[in-house]
């Protein structure tokens, strides 16, 4: 049985049998894998605390002939979203966001297909969370880069209708998934993206996630990007992720169901 060791990101786990877990993880050099962590649900398991979504870890595993599931030998955590739990000033939603990022990577990483850029994006984001980076700009950064790596982020260089600059901000029209300038925006409007939000995206295009402090994002601009990114994610995934829904419910307890439905139809 060949043994492999690799840097990896833990994406999610499922219960298996009485005491085991199936672990989905993205390796740096051999793509996404599924493996069995024997006894992971026992109280003194060696996997304890090592399988949180988005944990960056060294993973050793055996591949078994003619089996899709590998056998996980050990998981040695390097950075964990649990690192900052309870620390003063840490955003309480950091764990929920770590799960959201891991779920997005899982959705977008094909089985056994090496995608080192996706791995590096996830690894740098977990480092930023463990270092206590502000979570809202980090989330918008992650979504922006994930969509860019998949080649589906709409162009920001010029308005596709008139070739003019986005000098007054941009609009994503309802039922469409590209940006137009304000002059070309349809009378019905769409999701507004302010100059501040565009500035953040331009900064994010050239910044590492750990350096996001230098790229400003005020709460209003963050909400614009959250809406635009959700529309793009829902279009390309053809569904809304459970973790994304949970985060939104936590953030907006009084969120109006009616406006949600109207917006949902426009995607």
Q: By CB under 5 A, name the binding residues for Zn ion.
A: 159, 161-162, 164, 181, 184
Residue 54: strand, helix, or coil: coil
CB closer to Zn ion, 181 vs 201: 181
CB closer to Zn ion, 106 vs 192: 192
Closest approach, Cβ 160 to Zn ion, in A, equals: 8
> HSE of 109 in the Cβ direction (CA atoms, 13 Å)?
34
φ, ψ of residue 193 to 5 degrees: the values are -125, 110
> Among residues 117, 79, 74, which one has the least CA distance to residue 98?
79
CB closer to Zn ion, 109 vs 193: 193
Closest approach, Cβ 164 to Zn ion, in A, equals: 5
Q: What DSSP character marks residue 169?
A: B
> Among residues 228, 243, 227, 237, which one has the least CA distance to residue 98?
243
| Pairing of β 70-79 and β 56-62 | antiparallel
Asked if 55 contacts 81 with a C-beta cutoff of 8 angstroms, the reply is: yes
Closest approach, Cβ 155 to Zn ion, in A, equals: 12
Structure tokens, 157: 């260089």
Closest approach, Cβ 166 to Zn ion, in A, equals: 8
Which helix (DSSP H) or strand (DSSP E) does residue 108 occupy? Answer: helix 94-108
CB closer to Zn ion, 105 vs 197: 197
Closest approach, Cβ 1 to Zn ion, in A, equals: 60
CB closer to Zn ion, 161 vs 167: 161
Which helix (DSSP H) or strand (DSSP E) does residue 204 occupy? Answer: helix 195-205
């Amino acid at each position: 049985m060949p043994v492999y060791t690799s840097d990896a990101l833990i994406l999610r786990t499922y219960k298996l049998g009485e005491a085991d877990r199936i672990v989905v993880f993205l390796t740096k050099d051999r793509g996404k894998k599924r493996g069995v962590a024997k006894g992971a649900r026992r109280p003194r398991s060696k996997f304890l605390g090592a399988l949180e979504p988005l944990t960056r870890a060294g993973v050793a595993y055996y591949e078994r002939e003619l089996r899709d599931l590998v056998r996980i030998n050990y998981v040695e955590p390097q950075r964990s979203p649990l690192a900052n739990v309870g620390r003063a000033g840490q955003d309480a939603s950091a764990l929920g966001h770590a799960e959201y990022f891991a779920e997005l990577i899982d959705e977008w990483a094909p089985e056994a297909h090496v995608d080192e850029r996706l791995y590096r994006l996830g690894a740098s984001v977990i480092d930023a969370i463990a270092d206590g980076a502000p979570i809202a700009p980090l989330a918008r950064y992650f979504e922006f880069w994930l969509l860019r790596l998949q080649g589906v982020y709409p162009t920001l260089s010029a308005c596709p209708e008139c070739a003019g600059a986005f000098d007054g901000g941009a609009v994503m029209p309802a039922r469409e998934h590209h940006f137009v300038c304000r002059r070309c925006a349809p009378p019905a409007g769409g999701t507004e993206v302010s100059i501040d939000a565009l500035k953040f995206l331009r900064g994010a295009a050239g910044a590492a996630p750990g350096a996001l402090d230098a790229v400003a994002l005020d709460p209003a601009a963050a909400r614009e990007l959250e809406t635009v990114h959700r529309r793009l994610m829902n279009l390309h995934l053809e569904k809304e992720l459970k973790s994304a829904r949970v985060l939104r419910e936590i953030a907006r307890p009084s969120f109006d169901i009616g406006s949600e439905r109207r917006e949902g139809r426009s995607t």
